[in-house]
Amino acid sequence: MFVTTVAPRFGDIDGLGHVNNTVLPGWFEEARNPIFRMFSPTLDLTLGKWNLIMARIDFDFLGEMFFDGDVEIRTYVQKIGNSSFTLLHEAWQRGELRTRGTAVLVHYDFINKKSIPLTGTIREALSEHLITE
Residue 129 is predicted with a pLDDT of: 95
Task: Note the pLDDT tens digit of each residue in 52-61.
Answer: 999 999 999 9
Q: Distance of CA 1 to CAs 30, 42, 46, 124, Å?
A: 14, 21, 28, 14
Neighbours of 133 (CB within 10 A): 5
The domain segmentation of the chain, as residue ranges, is 2-127
Task: Note the pLDDT tens digit of each residue in 94-123.
Answer: 999 999 999 999 999 999 999 999 999 999
* pLDDT interval class at 48 (50, 70, 90): confident
The helix (H) or strand (E) run that includes residue 107 is strand 96-109
Residue 31 burial (CB < 10 Å; 0-12/13-18/19+)? buried
Per-residue pLDDT at 82 exceeds 90: yes
Residues 2-127, CATH architecture: Roll (3.10)
